Structure 1
Amino acid sequence: MKYSEEEALGLIETRGMVPAIQAVDVMCKTADVVLVSYENMGSGLVTVMVKGDVAAVKTAVENGAAAAAAIGDMTACHVMPRPISRVGKIVSQHDIDAE
């Protein structure tokens, strides 16, 4: 699934996999976003990334961050509206659907 410059990128970082999975579940259920990737960053940190239109990603990250914080440690969240193409290339390399 190729990343488009017209899309936003949403990221949530948690301490542990359980809050990360909860965040992704809530993000995908409450907004029209697609899971791009998850990364085990080390020291127990897990980052999940979603993409979609700007409004959907903002809604998804707000809801996902709240859900993660409710059951565990949500350490960071961020929305990047229409990031430059080089960021998209980095994200595409980590896409869970990449071939």
Structure 2
Amino acid sequence: MKALGFVEVSGIVAAVEALDSMLKTADVEFVTCEKRLGGRLVTIIVTGSISAVQEAVESGTARANEITKTVAHAIIANPHEEIIRMIQISAEKLNLAREVVNK
């Protein structure tokens, strides 16, 4: 992973809108999302080049702020291998959930 971008928002709708904007604005790839507090707090994670991730995070944050207030956002360039492992575990959980739903 070259860079990771995080946008944390209140609510699923704002998270989906933020992710849509991020994917349409920059050449980034959706990695996973984390839902906390029953979906009231959602963190979207994307990856790509540093400049693409910066553009995506700015776009996603702006779009989410049109719906609700963005809780936090961050960009990690060249993430440590333990961060990558943590994100991969989250992505695997999301993929397992998709498989269950698709059965």
TM-score bucket (shorter structure): 0.7 to 0.9
Alignment of 1:44-55 (within 5 A): 44-55=40-51
Alignment length (residue pairs): 94
Larger radius of gyration: 2
User: Greater helix percent: which structure?
Assistant: 2
Instruction: For structure 1, list consecutive stretches of 5 or more residues without a partner in the other structure.
Output: none
Q: Percent identity?
A: 36
User: What RMSD in Å do the two structures reach over aligned CA positions?
Assistant: 1.6
Task: List gaps (5 residues or longer) in structure 2.
Answer: none
> Residue 41 of structure 1: which of 36, 49, 52 is its match?
36
Residues 1:93 and 2:96 are matched in the alignment: no
Q: Which runs of 4+ in 1 moved over 3 A?
A: 96-99
SS of 2:51's partner is helix
- Separation in 1, partners of 2:61, 2:25: 12
Superposition deviation, residue 22 in structure 1: 0.5
Partner residue of 1:70 out of 59, 66, 82: 66
